[in-house]
Amino acid sequence: MSTRTLTAEHLSALEAQAIELPSWAFGNSGTRFRVFPTPGTPRDPFEKIADAAQVHAFTRLAPAVALHIPWDKVDGYAALRRHAEDLGVTLGTVNSNTFQDEDYKFGALTHQNECIRQKAIDHHLECIDIMDATGSRDLKIWLAEGSNYPGQNDMRARQDRLQDSLQQIYARLGDDQRLVLEYKFFEPAFYHTDVPDWGTSYVQVAALGDKAMVCLDTGHHAPGTNIEFIVMQLLRLGKLGSFDFNSRFYADDDLIVGAADPFQLFRILAEVIRGGGLNNPDVAFMLDQCHNIEDKIPGQIRSVLNVQEMTARALLIDRDALAAAQQENDVLAANAILMDAFQTDVRPQLAAWRASRGLAEDPMAAYLASGYQQRIAEERVGGVQAGWGA
C-alpha cells in the first residue's frame, strides 16, 4: 500500500485549482423520453447562479459559472454579473447554440444557404457582445452539424464554409477573448460530422490564429480512444484551450466525472500535469453534465471533488523514479510507480486540509445539512422550471 503524502507544494497546487460549472447542470434533465422535474429547480439564470455558488461555498473549487445562450438570456447582463459577484463567483465561458432552431436543420455555420449561415454567424457575434458585458474570456462553439447519408452533402464545401464562418467570428473577438471549438465524433449527424475529432478542430482553429483553441469533452470519443494521448498532443501543440469534464459508459452520457472510469480521469490529469496544463490560465477546466436522476447541486459537488481527488493522486506520481524506469525500459517498475499514486487514498489528507482552511471536511454532508435544498424547494414555487434546452 502506498504511503505517499501530499506535500506543501502539492497542496499549493490544489489551492489554486478552479473548475467552472455549467449553468445548465442545475436545470431539469432526463432521458430522450422524458425530462424529470425536481423541487427547487431554478426558474431563471439568477437562480442557476445562486445554486452554482453553493458548490463553490462548500468546496472552494468552483469560482465561475458558464452561460449558454439563448438558455441564459437576460435583459441586463451587467446585473447578472453583479449578482454572481455578490455570491462569490464570476461568469465564465459563453456557449453558443445553433442546434435548436428550425433553420439549422441542415447546418448552421456550414449551411449552403448564405442567409441561414449569416444568421448563425450573427448569433455568435451576439454571444461576444454578451462576453463584453459579463467579462467572459471564452466563446465555446459546439456544432451539431453534418449529414446522415453518403452523397447528402459536399463535405469539403462544408469545411470551407465552416472556416469562413469561424474567420468572421474570430475577427470580432477582443484582445483578451478566445474562441474554443469543441468536437464530437457523432450525434446528431450519423454519416459524417463537420467537427468529429480533435484533429479537425485543431486544423480549423490553427488556421484562425493564437486566440483559437480546441475544447476537449471527455465524453466525445469512440470507445477505446486514448483520451490522455489527445490531451498530451494538444498541450504539446499549445492548442488545448479547455476541458468539458464528464463521464460516459456508452456515448455522450454526461455523467458525474469519474463515475465510469476513475483511472481514466487519473490518467488524463497525469498528462495535464506533465504537460503544464494544471492551473494554467490558458487551459480552462469545466464540467459539462446533465443530472438525470440525482439532485443537481450534490451532483456538481461530487464531480468537482472527484476532479480534485484525482488531481491530488496524479500529483503524487514520483516523476523522477518514473523517468528513471522509463529510461531503463523497466516496464513493470514504471507501471507500478503510476499505480502506486493512483491507489493512494488521499481522502483523509484532503479532509484535513479542508478543515485547516475553515471548510467542512465532508463538503457533501455539510451541504445536505445546510437546509439550502429544503429552502429552495419551498421558495421556488410557480414560474417555469429551467431545463436542458431552456
Q: Express each pLDDT in 54-81 by its tens digit.
A: 999 999 999 999 999 999 999 999 999 9
Instruction: Using the predicted structure, report yes or no on whether residue 207 has a pLDDT greater than 70.
Output: yes
Asked whether 42 and 13 are in contact (CB, 8 A), the reply is no
Count Cβ neighbours within 10 Å for each residue of 284-310 and write b for 16 or more, e otherwise: bbbbbbbbbeeebbbbbbbbbbbbbbb
CATH of segment(s) 17-316? 3.20.20.150
Question: Which band of pLDDT confidence, cut at 50, 70 and 90, is reported for residue 390?
Answer: low
Residues 280-306 have a mean pLDDT of: 95
Q: What is the mean pLDDT of residues 136-140?
A: 98
Q: Phi, psi (5° rounding) for residue 285? A: -95, 125
**pLDDT reported for residue 39:** 93
Q: Whats the size of the chain, residue-wise?
A: 390
Q: Which of 41-55, 281-295, 364-378 has the lowest mean pLDDT?
A: 281-295
> What is the mean pLDDT of the segment spanning 307-336?
98
pLDDT of res. 291 = 85
Residue 338 has pLDDT above 90, yes or no: yes
Q: Residue ranges of the domains in the chain?
A: 17-316
Strands (E), the chain: 21-22, 29-30, 35-36, 64-68, 90-95, 138-141, 146-147, 178-182, 192-193, 212-217, 240-245, 284-287
Q: If we measure between CA atoms, which residue out of 386, 293, 236, 256 comes closest to residue 31? A: 293
pLDDT at 2 over 70: no
Q: Beta-strand (E) ranges in 255-321? A: 284-287
Residue 290's pLDDT is what? Answer: 86
| 325: pLDDT strictly greater than 60 | yes
Query: Residue range 300-308: average pLDDT?
Result: 98
User: Which amino acid, 197?
Assistant: D
Look at residues 51, 54, 46, 50 and name the one whose alpha carbon lies nearest to residue 77.
46
pLDDT band at 32 (very low <50, low <70, confident <90, very high): confident
Q: Are 87 and 49 in contact (CB under 8 A)?
A: yes
**Amino acid 307: pLDDT:** 98
Query: How big is the CA angle at 142 (ends 196 and 160), to the nearest 5 degrees?
Result: 65
Tell me the whole-structure pTM to 2 decimals. 0.96
**Residue the block writes with cell 431554478:** 42
The angle formed by the CA atoms of residues 51, 54 and 59, to the nearest 5 degrees, is 140
383 pLDDT higher than 60: yes
Average pLDDT estimate for 283-312: 96
pLDDT at 88: 98
> Can you give the pLDDT at residue 348?
97
Averaged pLDDT, 73-95: 98
DSSP string, 316-336: TS-HHHHHHHHHTT-HHHHHH
Distance of CA 290 to the CA centre of its chain: 12
Looking at residue 389, what is its pLDDT? 64
Cell of residue 367, nine digits: 451541504
Based on its alpha-carbon atoms, the radius of gyration of the chain, rounded to whole angstroms, reads 21
Residue whose C-alpha cell is 469562413: 164
Instruction: Please name the residue that has the C-alpha cell 469534464.
Output: 245
pLDDT at 30: 82
Q: Determine the average pLDDT of the residues in 239-257.
A: 95
Phi, psi for 19 (deg, rounded to 5): -125, 120
First to last CA, the chain: 48
CA atoms 228, 109, 94, 148: torsion sign: negative
Task: Determine how many CB atoms are found less than 10 A away from the CB of residue 360.
Answer: 16
| Mean pLDDT across the chain | 96
Per the listing, cell 490531451 goes with: 231
pLDDT, greater one: 211 or 35: 211
Confidence of residue 355 (pLDDT cuts 50, 70, 90): very high
The answer, yes or no, to whether residue 175 has pLDDT greater than 80, is yes
Mean pLDDT of the region 236-252: 96
